[in-house]
Amino acid sequence: WRPIFDKYDRDHDGEIPLEDILQLLHDKNEELEHDIPRGVLEEIVERADWDSNRKLSYAEFKSMVHAYDLGEHRPRFLRLVRYAAMAVVPKRQRATVVRRYLDEYSCMPPPLFLITISIVEVAVFIYYCVVLEEFTATGPVPRDSPLIYNPRRRKEAWRYLTYMFIHVGGFHVFFNLLVQLILGIPLEMVHKWWRVMLIYAGGVVAGSLGSSLSDPYVFLAGASGGVYALIAGHLATLILNFKEMDFAWIRVVFLAIFGSTDVGVAIYTRYMEEDDENRVSYAAHIAGAAAGLLLGVPMMRNLVVHRWEVITGRVFFAVFVVLILIAVLFNAFYTGYFPKSEM
């Protein structure tokens, strides 16, 4: 391969610029430009560029020709970003979309939102386990906490959001953390932390408002509203691009097992708990999932935008805003529907 390398090393400095190779590929085969997107060729060539200097040495050139170790010398962090993008982007979009994610990705700020939220949730859970001297699959239930949603203290508006820091038992906190970290971190890396934060928080608030309307006499705890918002956003992409997603069936089965188990525990806690004051609503799961769908379509990052997606996104966002306003107004003015306030 040395004579071939020397032939295209025009300035004889021992390196061939990547642009020269890409231009050569197109010049030598006019059909190539129509059959293979330029982004795909750039991805192949750049994988051989171990030191990322936009030039190929002879060793890198041989690696590309023999197709071994391609990408192994890519910085580990960029490989991690690539894997995150591959996990949430359909196959037919990867040739151009994943590359653009890599080109545009910035680690400032890093994807720490869900990690931070998870740490706080674990810390709060441990605190109440120690204070209440209980740790079971369905307990403790810190109903006197200033964070939990208490239907008799609805005027303390922060509870509509802060209930996400309270979890009812080890089973509850474990499954919520498992899904929001495994699913949420790749989403956060690809779609940016602030988008994931808004969808997550939107699911949490929608969960508490939905629960207040459908189950007005019970407490509400857990981050399930936010978790199900993330699930719904991902599940919508998974269903629409089922044949294009890697391990689609495995993902569906995993989400189905998690959803049925988590909702089952919530329903059990709601209807089997003998003490009315300890019952916790499960309606937040449904409301959170609806919020995730309504917010995910307009807010999730999409580098390949179609007009129908823009219109659908605006409609979904408008529906979300209207539903939230209705729930807020109902809570504010139809006080007779709710239990008597303790305040």
Q: Which of 57, 118, 224, 281 is catalytic?
A: 224
26 is catalytic: no
Q: Which residues contact 163 (CB under 8 A, 6 or more apart)?
A: 147, 148, 149, 204, 208, 220, 221, 222
- Asked whether 152 and 342 are in contact (CB, 8 A), the reply is yes
Q: Rounded to the nearest 10 degrees, what angle do helices 76-88 and 97-104 cross at?
A: 140
Tell me the backbone φ, ψ of residue 102, rounded to 5 degrees.
-65, -40
Residue 189, Ramachandran bin (φ over 0: left; ψ between -120 and 50: alpha; else beta): alpha
52 is catalytic: no
**Full DSSP string of 154-184:** TTSTTHHHHGGG--SSHHHHHHHHHHHHHTH
Query: CA nearest 323: which of 290, 286, 284, 301?
Result: 290
Structure-block tokens of residue 52: 């990322």
SS3 56: strand
Query: CA nearest 238: which of 227, 252, 226?
Result: 252
SS3 57: strand
Structure-block tokens of residue 105: 């990705």
- Asked whether 189 and 81 are in contact (CB, 8 A), the reply is yes
Q: Which of 167, 191, 234, 285 is catalytic?
A: 285
Ranges of beta strands (E only) in the chain are 15-17, 55-57
- Asked whether 198 and 229 are in contact (CB, 8 A), the reply is no
Catalytic residues: 224, 285
